[in-house]
Structure 1
Amino acid sequence: MPARMRNVRAIAVVMGCASLGLAVSLPAQASSPHSKGIERAVLPSGDGWASADGSTTGGADATPDHVYTVTDRAELIAAFEDAGDAPKIIKIAGTVHGNADEAGTPIDCEAYQQDGYTLEKYLAAYDPEVWGTDEVPSGPLEDARVASAKLQAAAVNVNVPSNTTIIGVGKDPTVIGASLQVKNVSNVIIRNLSFEDTYDCFPLWDPTDGDTGHWNSEYDNLVVYGSDHVWVDHNTFSDGDRPDADQPSYFNEVFQQHDGLFDIVRGADLVTVSWNVLKDHDKTMLIGNSDSAGDDDRGRLRVTLHHNLFKDVNERAPRVRFGQVDSYNNHFVASKGAAYGYSYGVGAESQLVAEHNAFTVPKGFDKATILKKWSESSLSAGDNYVNGRRTDLIAVHNAGVPEEQLTEGAGWTPALRTKVDHPLAVPLLVGLGAGAGKASLR
């Protein structure tokens, strides 16, 4: 659909909702024709936690010599190294592959194999009927797996410096198989990109994990670790052409090659996540990755999630520990037949406010499972709608899961919100506006 027609359609939808008495707003990213352009956009004032204590400007003040267009992983890293912590704008054009050679050509898992590792040998060595179930793998094949994984990690993990805007430009800008690491830095904006299939070639088999053992993998598409003032806007996150549902099973467990889609951990703070699509995945988003990380996380992990689409994700949308997390005006979709565990995970000392959201679920769906209690924490969850009906998520949960009673009242009231839309309008607005390619700036 041409851009002009999309804009006309969006305006028509908003006008229609307004006629029903619903408060709605177009995405805050829509700017005037005289704006500096999408690459120099900054987080609007009052738009979530990333607008607190200063604001988030990324590379908006970049000089012309610190504006780069990159088409592969090597160019991306070179741009980061060239600019250092100076304000910089990185435009990603086309597809950047994390698993690639120096020329940017994609490579497969065999290219990383070290010291005689093959999956076939690994499976033979650590088959529970051979190795047993009481100890994690050790010995030459496990050492070879670790060496191979280390080589892949050097290619997959890409560190993002401070004062950076990363923006997708052109047709379908995509990052495949790379993990952007926003680690111990400040002032970063990431917009208008599709992130796909950040896969682990060398998952660890742990027979002691749970009752039956599990495959454990590394890498998220995006990680915010120990960083502050980060704005993640209008991106799409998925497993691409390698969904977990299509993976084989070994030792009666799915060969899990993906970890999370997007995690915010280890003292990260002041983050706004807006107008993104997160879809078709298992472990979606952690805010706080460990109950034992309180020394790093208490008083931090302040995150705002708004106008995001969580579609057919099994769990962690998000799972929260410690932080004051404001989640409003998001749309959660569970399709018939898709794996579903829960949406909001209430974890250690979390202070989650989940309000004004919309849920679209199939007939017979157990609404009590939308919330999941992991630890004794309180939350606020008012004015949420399930299939168009206002639903008290805490009451429904407590009635349906009597052994996991949740207490109402997060203990704080969010103030950093732009206009809050009526939950009945959220599916339309998010459907029209969320995801890569929808940041309609000139």
Structure 2
Amino acid sequence: MRTRPVAASLAGCTAVLLALMTAPAHAADPARRTLPAGDGWASEGAGTTGGAAADAAHTHTVRTWAEFTAALTAGGSAPRIIRVVGTLNATEGGCEAFEADGYDFARYLADYDPAVWGRDTPVSGPQEDLRAASAAAQGRAVKAYVPADTTIIGVGRNAGITGGSLQIRDVDNVIVRNLTLESPLDCFPQWDPTDGATGAWNSEYDAMVVHGATHVWIDHNTFTDGRYPDSSFPRHFGEIHQRHDGELDIVRGANHVTASWNVFADHDKTLMIGNSDSAAATDAGRLKVTLHHNLFTGVVERAPRVRFGQVDAYNNHYVVGSAYAYSLGVGYESRLYAEKNAFTLPAGADAGRILKKWKDAPLTAVDNRVNGRAVDLVAAHNALNPGDTLRTGAGWTPALRTRVDDARAVPGLVRARAGAGKVR
């Protein structure tokens, strides 16, 4: 056997030791992980690095909502990392903390009962003014504005935010990972008697909003209604007293977003990409979003609903519950590309309901499986809706993908690896 000279061995050991000593201390730190090259639309151009370059002075560990919001504003425009420990509660004082003097929900119900107010005129008057003032106070408290070049990451398996709304607005280069985000409750929904045939309660506050922002990576989070499912809300004026809005909205010129390995659970209006048909000035040519390896379970609709955007939805798993409208909404000027997704439908549910046509726009849907069986989603929709058919051919082919799994493997992969607490 040939052996290396002692001097050579020592030199080799010294080189390894020096390499270890000079390697960045944060090389294995998940808080400094950046989006891999080619991983969806957020990798376009310069990619998404968040706060990976933050120095010690701009690296924060927070355990309360107050500490979190302070960390978002500390240190000016320098890159920052915010590590979240435990659950941050943005509304620990309860709804009473936001109520304007004189606001009385019982009085509000009495004043605007359709038997008294009618259904033809939007509500107005003292109690509506006090409701609006109370809502404004809640909004100031629960909206947290995320600056550019920021990474927010949960520590361990039990980190999250309840009652808060992350606002990623008009900034570039943000990463949010490993958080359980319980949908915020609107303490003061507004009654609109003119909304639809019978009126509706309208609420505010998405768990996360990407508004006009670019290069955003949303990874390994769990979005859920948690302790407050819609089924727990009472009815007033014959309509559910809705206190939730969306789980994630990507709107108003947002661009180059990747949402990967997240769980979206037990919600109604879940994920909207583009919020208005009239927003061409801000949205045309933008809203480029990749959704891959996400679990949508027990959601009613908008998974996602798309306007304008080139949206690449692949390798997602959709587990449909008893309350179900649709999964993929085809909206105004959208260009959806849906490939190798898996859908688990309950007995009796028609695969033609998976796609919902809101406006005429072409899409590509290939190699998707429903209950383990290959299904042409467009053909299924058109068979169920012969008078309102969809067109195939989105007009583009996604290129920014790092791995594409066989749709038959998707349920097991996503179940095992998606959601908060599973960051590798």
**Residue 402 of structure 2 is aligned to residue 422 of structure 1:** no
Q: CA RMSD in A?
A: 1.1
- Equivalent residue in structure 2 for 1:58, among 50, 57, 64: 50
Residues of 2 paired with 1:59 and 1:122: CA distance? Answer: 46
Identity %: 59
Contact 2:212 2:252 in 1 (8 A): yes
Residue equivalent to 1:178: 164
1:159-308 pair list within 5 angstroms = 159-308=145-294
**Residue 60 of structure 2 is aligned to residue 68 of structure 1:** yes
**Residue 41 of structure 2 is aligned to residue 49 of structure 1:** yes
Residue equivalent to 2:313: 327
The AA in structure 1 aligned to 2:251 is: V
- Does the C-alpha gap of structure 1 residues 76 and 34 become closer, same or farther in structure 2, counting only changes over 3 Å? closer
Residues of 2 paired with 1:379 and 1:245: CA distance? Answer: 34
Q: CA deviation at 1:84?
A: 2.6
**Residue 381 of structure 2 is aligned to residue 381 of structure 1:** no
**Residue 120 of structure 2 is aligned to residue 137 of structure 1:** no
Q: CA deviation at 1:246?
A: 1.4
Contact 2:315 2:342 in 1 (8 A): yes
Residue equivalent to 1:359: 343
Residue equivalent to 1:152: 138
Residue equivalent to 1:36: 28
Give the TM-score taking structure 1 as reference length. 0.89
**Residue 393 of structure 2 is aligned to residue 401 of structure 1:** no
**Residue 327 of structure 2 is aligned to residue 343 of structure 1:** yes
Structure with larger RCO (C-alpha < 8 A, sep 6+): 1
The AA in structure 2 aligned to 1:117 is: Y
The AA in structure 1 aligned to 2:150 is: T
Residues of 2 paired with 1:272 and 1:171: CA distance? Answer: 22
Residue equivalent to 2:100: 114
Q: CA deviation at 1:171?
A: 4.2
- SS of 1:46's partner is coil
Contact 1:197 1:241 in 2 (8 A): no
**Residue 423 of structure 2 is aligned to residue 439 of structure 1:** yes
Residues of 1 paired with 2:315 and 2:111: CA distance? Answer: 49
1:276-307 per-residue CA deviation (whole Å, 9 max, x = no partner) reads 00000000010001111111000100000000
Q: CA deviation at 1:170?
A: 3.1
The AA in structure 2 aligned to 1:98 is: A
Q: CA deviation at 1:35?
A: 3.9
Q: CA deviation at 1:34?
A: 9.1
Which 5+ residue runs of structure 2 have no aligned equivalent?
1-24
Residues of 1 paired with 2:112 and 2:265: CA distance? Answer: 33
Contact 2:156 2:421 in 1 (8 A): no
Larger Rg: 2
- SS of 1:281's partner is coil
Contact 1:224 1:264 in 2 (8 A): yes
Contact 2:85 2:159 in 1 (8 A): yes
1:398-436 per-residue CA deviation (whole Å, 9 max, x = no partner) reads 000122210001010000011100000000000010000
Residues of 2 paired with 1:171 and 1:54: CA distance? Answer: 31
4+ runs of 1 displaced by more than 3 Å? Answer: none
Bigger drift between 394-403 and 265-274 goes to 394-403
Contact 1:84 1:161 in 2 (8 A): no
Residues of 1 paired with 2:388 and 2:297: CA distance? Answer: 25
- SS of 1:180's partner is strand
The AA in structure 2 aligned to 1:119 is: F
Residues of 1 paired with 2:172 and 2:26: CA distance? Answer: 28
- Equivalent residue in structure 2 for 1:77, among 50, 69, 73: 69
Residue equivalent to 1:93: 85
The AA in structure 2 aligned to 1:58 is: G
The alignment covers a number of residue pairs equal to 400
Q: CA deviation at 1:197?
A: 2.8
Give the TM-score taking structure 2 as reference length. 0.93
Residues of 2 paired with 1:58 and 1:370: CA distance? Answer: 34
Q: CA deviation at 1:98?
A: 1.3
